Chains A and B, each alone.
Chain A
Amino acid sequence: MNTLNLGLTLGPLQFFWPREQVMQFYRAAVELPLDTIYLGEVVCGRRQQLRTQDWIELAQELSLAGKRCVLSAQALIESESDLKRLRKLIDNGQVGIEANDLGAAKLARDSQVPFVAGPYLNIYNAETLALFQRLGAYRWLPPLEMTRDTLSEIIAQGVAVETEVFAWGKLPLAFSSRCFTARHYNLSKDSCEFRCLEHADGMLLSTRENQEFLTINGIQTMSAECQSLLPHLADMAQIGVSAVRISPQSEGVAEIVRAFADEIAGNHCDSQRLNHLQQLAGGSWVDGYWRGQAGIVHLQEAEYART
């Protein structure tokens, strides 16, 4: 039974949930075998069930409960009010941040706040990674589309930054200034009636042949299917990945986190548990990006059985 040297983290919430649901979710997360919890609104500045100050206070509360917390910055910054919230987040004085655009990296550097370089910073090679390290990054997430082989080559170049990989969840694939949820309801973004609240895991977008393709989540477009890199954890540890990230969803996060934690501890999931996880993934799961293919390519469960 080999224990893998991998940390387990809970990524920032991508969806818009009522305040009470958010609070319950994180109070439950404290009890889970997680090293780090990322908090904050990363998608849309109009989502204010928790304001910036609330996120900062929640981070402090969870820190007191013994969890390492990181505040994740909004990925698409457009207006001065977005910037104002970003500055407040970065200058919170206690908790580290995840920079999700160049502006957040700049402000973190200016304030000398060490940061996690988030998956949207477009770091595709070791020289760019080293540059972000000089700006203050102590950890990075490769772009979601990066293949295992490219990642392995970059880690092998030895930049002293920890690597965290997005290992579970619908893939946040794209950002727009347009809100696709508002568009669906024929509403404008500025008077969107906060319809995202009605879709705890986003809205399914299917092809006209009923293939589940994408998920609409406000200004964000995600994969419809869930990525799971559960079968690849041993390989990740071997190439030098430091931690793996679980992305929040409305149901089943505790079971998912425990399955990953068991796997990291060397206890393989049996087929019954795998079936259950697959249900929590929404029926099917993908891992194409990791294996150098289109991201939508389905996970090879046979491969898991072999490991």
Chain B
Amino acid sequence: MTATHTLPELVCPAGSLPALKAAVDNGADTVYLGLKDATNARNFAGLNFDDKSASEGIRYAHDRKRKILMAINTYAQGADISRWKRAVDHAADLGVDAVILADLGLMDYAVKHHPELRLHLSVQGSATHYEAINLARDLFGIRRAVLPRVLTLDQVKHVIEHTEVEIEVFGFGSLCVMVEGRCLLSSYATGESPNTHGVCSPARFVRWEHGEKQLNARLNDILIDQYGKDEAAGYPTLCKGRFAVGGETYYALEEPTSLNILSMLPELISIGVSAIKVEGRQRSPAYVAQVTRTLREALDAARDAQRFSVRPSWQTALDKVSEGHQQTLGAYNRPWK
């Protein structure tokens, strides 16, 4: 007897129109995107959508029966939060299928002004258990919550059993070791954080120093990592550098690694996860195509949980686009903690 479960939605990132098309063409059910400003948590130079590209992208997806979500998931800052409100208005006017919000005040605005607009609680909202999610449900009628990457598989299951809000989890991409929405390391080092500016370890603070024997990677002058001549250097995300603690130098917080839940797909499906999200709006259309295609194949194969096994070709494909060419199950697997 095989239990039948609805397959989770595959939710893929797009930082540009070509990436959006790559996601749709390679089997994403849903694509999420953000506007070109600090209202979203991937506010990187040269990235994201303006009116024209957003309209075109939405048309492209809707013509093919796919959905578009708009992330407006930084926290509205200070006295004048009209920019964030305008982004919500904009999303509603453009006809997106849902907005992804973190700021409860902004959710309040969205409900009052756009009662028909579907609301998702962003991972930046730091809701790690059902009581937190159910607060946003009671207040704003949220339809989905994206879980921070901190829970074990059993804990995710427990959340799903205690709320009717759909649960979306991260399936692949760069791994945040900290609870999303609760990490100020970036602003401590640079003055800009995901919550305030939609950035982490921002590129404009990165400086590479080529020495005779080593390569230094600095963030706002702080030495995040140091590489020997033969070592592959990675972007100096500050939680993934090598530091000294108690006389030992090592990746004190986390290695450069990517989350990859392929081997857990049947379990995620059977506990009733509604959507699986791919991280990477800052990545190229080629990345989006590669990851989307692989996860599409894997999800389709996981319909038959009994016979499911991770194909080497999937692993190879994802390995190529992984940070530091390393992958982990992260918190889903308890020993990681």
Contacts and interface: CB of A to CB of B under 8 A. Distances in A.
B108 interface: yes
A180 B251 CA distance: 10
A77 B129 contact: yes
A213 B220 CA distance: 12
A125 B103 contact: yes
B132 A124 contact: no
A180 to B, nearest CB: 6
Contacts of B81: 125, 127
A200 interface: no
Contacts of A144: 184
A145 B195 CA distance: 9
Contacts of B75: 122, 124-125, 128
Contact of A124 (B78, B139, B151, B254): B78
Contacts of B106: 127-128
Contact of B158 (A80, A101, A102, A294): A80
Contact of A205 (B77, B158, B243, B336): B243
A173 B184 contact: yes
A176 B177 contact: yes
A102 B135 contact: yes
A147 B6 CA distance: 47
Contacts, number: 211
B177 A178 contact: yes
Interface string B209-241: 000000000001011101000000000000100
Contact of A122 (B195, B252, B336): B195
Nearest to A155: B79
Main secondary structure of the interface of A (DSSP, over half): mixed
A290 B4 CA distance: 55
A21 to B, nearest CB: 22
A179 interface: yes
Interface stretch (B49-57, B186-194, B256-264, B311-319): B186-194
Contacts of B126: 101-102, 120, 122
A208 B243 contact: yes
A171 to B, nearest CB: 7
Interface residues of A, number: 70
A270 interface: no
A221 B185 contact: yes
A157 B108 CA distance: 18
A216 B178 contact: no
B243 A78 contact: no
Contacts of B103: 122, 124-125, 128
A224 to B, nearest CB: 10
A65 interface: no
Interface string A17-57: 00000000000000000000000000000000000000000
Interface string A101-128: 1110111010000000000101011111
Given A78-B129, A177-B151, A184-B252, A106 B135 contact: yes
A201 B325 CA distance: 36
B223 A207 contact: yes
B253 A190 contact: no
B129 to A, nearest CB: 5
B132 A103 contact: yes
A214 interface: yes
Interface string B97-113: 00000111110110000
Given A145-B196, A176-B179, A294-B191, A210 B331 contact: no
A223 B222 CA distance: 13
Interface string B304-337: 0000000000000000000000000001001111
A288 interface: yes
Contact of A102 (B136, B155, B226): B136
B114 interface: no
B128 interface: yes
A108 B32 CA distance: 34
B131 interface: yes
A201 B132 CA distance: 30
A183 B132 contact: no
A80 B129 CA distance: 9
A252 B308 CA distance: 60
Interface in B103-159: 103-106, 108-109, 125-129, 131-132, 134-136, 138-139, 150-151, 155, 158
A95 interface: no
Contacts of A103: 127-129, 131-132, 135
A182 to B, nearest CB: 8
B315 to A, nearest CB: 24
B71 to A, nearest CB: 16
Contacts of A109: 135
B242 interface: yes
A194 interface: no
Contacts of B135: 102-103, 105-106, 109
B104 A145 contact: no
A211 B222 contact: yes
B217 to A, nearest CB: 11
A105 B155 CA distance: 21
25 contacts: A76-B150, A76-B182, A77-B131, A78-B129, A124-B195, A124-B196, A125-B75, A125-B76, A127-B76, A127-B106, A145-B187, A145-B195, A153-B78, A157-B79, A173-B184, A175-B179, A176-B178, A188-B335, A207-B224, A208-B244, A216-B245, A221-B185, A221-B253, A294-B187, A296-B188
Given A289-B188, A294-B188, 12 more contacts: A76-B182, A77-B131, A101-B126, A103-B131, A122-B103, A124-B78, A125-B103, A127-B108, A128-B103, A132-B104, A176-B177, A206-B243
Closest CB pairs A-B (n = 9): A128-B105, A177-B150, A153-B79, A103-B131, A106-B135, A127-B105, A102-B132, A295-B188, A103-B132
